[in-house]
Amino acid sequence: MFAGLRRDCARTKSSGQLPPRTVTNKTINLYATEGAHLGALSSSTRSSILAHLRTLRESLAEARDSLMHYRDDRIDRDKLEPAARRVDDLMNMFAGGVRDMDQGSAWITEIRSGTEQVTNPKAAAPLGKARADIAALLEVMVST
């Protein structure tokens, strides 16, 4: 399979041009059939989403760090791990080429439910910041 792709992308030796059947045309057609909600963000919206995701990642890391020192805090710290992974997934999605707003909203809702499960007062301040970022992200997602 990969040999065929490599052969299609390789330049012909005699003319130095790409053959008529290239992988880039298939990629463009794939994105054209996916749907209108993919990749249709302005650069300012994308940068504001990424800024909120960065601060959300910092807040979750701060909350997890505040729950590191005692064995009894492990349960609450473990509840934050899936939320932190979803933030990383969202950052990868919005930094990449394909932006699925429906999937992003579902992941943000999953992050919100993960942060609401933590009731430890040691993580209250960072989780308060995280909840503010989650609300801002949901507002941006709904408005687009």
Four-way CATH pick for 43-143: 1.10.3470, 1.20.120, 1.10.10, 2.60.40: 1.20.120
CA dihedral over 83, 84, 87, 93, signed as positive or negative = negative
Q: Rounded to whole angstroms, how far apart are CA atoms 83 and 54?
A: 13
Q: Rounded to whole angstroms, how far apart are CA atoms 133 and 52?
A: 6
Question: Domain map of the chain by residue range?
Answer: 2-34, 43-143
Q: Does pTM top 0.75 for this prediction?
A: no
Per-residue pLDDT tens digits for 55-109: 999 999 999 999 988 888 889 999 999 999 999 999 998 888 777 888 888 999 9
> Residue 67 has which token pair?
């729950």
